[in-house]
Structure 1
Amino acid sequence: MKWLRNPDFYPNGLPAVGLLFLRIFTGYAMAQHGLGKIQNPFGWMGDAPVPGFLQALAAASEFFGGIALIFGVLTPLACLGIMSTMFVAIMSMMMRGAPMVAPKPSAPSWEMAGLFFFITLALFMTGPGRLSVDYFLFGRKRATETAT
């Protein structure tokens, strides 16, 4: 397996590929979660006591933040939006007494929101990696300082 880490085999290295896969999967999943919400941005929560503009912000952060993650463009901003939305989702589930992992698959839990929160936190801390639009837009120096 040492050949996989050989810079001659893949000049950008495996960490960049790992971050790319993580961004694509997470971004696609977030965009899918936000797709239905973005179609009704001011009312997707029904009669919940959440103002419409906050519902629209959550829908936009999930959908557009997911698209941004896929391409690795404005990654820190996308991560902050998704983390904020997932934090609110986690807190609302915890306040209702939902466990982290539900005993039944259909029961409410905050497991998925927690996973999305921590994945985007990790991407926020590491950066999008070399295989991203951010890397090409903002220069090599800045992108390699945050993640290799």
Structure 2
Amino acid sequence: MNLKIFANESLNVKADVAILIARIVCGYAFILHGWGKIQDPFHWMGPESSMPAFFQFLGALSEFGGGIAWVIGLLTRLASFGIVCTMIVAAYFHSVILGDSFVNLTGGRSFELAGVFFTVALVFLTVGAGRFSIDQKIFGSKSE
């Protein structure tokens, strides 16, 4: 198996510092978002939910486990793929099923956060965790 898929893109130090800060801040946010879900990973959406338990588990795992992976920079691309998928489902659910707007100026439901986290996850999926990560120590960069 070729593990170079987990290798980071070669970036300059400033970009890697920015990636590190984004990983820590967004990863911590995902740990907090996923904490309640991981407590009951197969039923966190409630008994009336039509979402199968396995998909609820994947959502809880991608948020809580993905947040931890982002903070420490381990298997960042894999975690980012899970978060991308989860945010697509969240945005679809809020925009199409619930009819929420992208931004709700009165503070109600919206799918802007799912859109922002989707975008951040797409960046990490594309470039990796950066040089200040466990991924860098284990897998190196693609230029090596």
Report if TM-score (shorter chain) is over 0.5. Answer: yes
Cα separation, 2, equivalents of 1:43 and 1:123:
29
The answer for the alignment partner of 1:5 in structure 2 is: none
The answer for the alignment partner of 2:139 in structure 1 is: 138
User: Quick one: higher RCO (CA 8 Å, sep 6+), 1 or 2?
Assistant: 2
CA positional deviation for 1:99: 0.3
- Post-superposition CA distance 1:43-84 (Å, at most 9, x none): 110111001111011000100001000011101100000010
Cα separation, 2, equivalents of 1:118 and 1:39:
27
Cα separation, 2, equivalents of 1:58 and 1:49:
14
Aligned counterpart in structure 1 of residue 104 of structure 2, from 99, 102, 105: 102
Structure 1 consecutive aligned stretches of length 4 or more whose deviation exceeds 2 Å: none
The answer for the alignment partner of 1:21 in structure 2 is: 21
**Structure 2, unaligned stretches of length 5 or more?**
1-11
Are 1:43 and 2:43 matched, yes or no? yes
Please tell me whether Structure 1 or Structure 2 has the larger radius of gyration of its CA atoms.
Answer: 1
Equivalent position SS for 2:120: helix
**Structure 1, unaligned stretches of length 5 or more?**
1-11
TM-score with structure 2 setting the length: 0.87
Cα separation, 2, equivalents of 1:137 and 1:125:
18
Cα separation, 2, equivalents of 1:61 and 1:103:
28
The answer for the alignment partner of 1:58 in structure 2 is: 59
Provide the aligned length of Structure 1 versus Structure 2.
131
Cα separation, 1, equivalents of 2:25 and 2:105:
26
Instruction: Give the alignment's Cα RMSD to 1 decimal.
Output: 1.3
CA positional deviation for 1:103: 2.4
Cα separation, 2, equivalents of 1:51 and 1:73:
28
Identity %: 45
Letter in structure 1 aligned against 2:75:
L
Cα separation, 1, equivalents of 2:106 and 2:44:
25
Q: Within 5 Å, give how 1:67-78 maps onto structure 2.
A: 67-78=68-79
- Post-superposition CA distance 1:86-139 (Å, at most 9, x none): 10000011112110001211x110011111000110111121110010000012
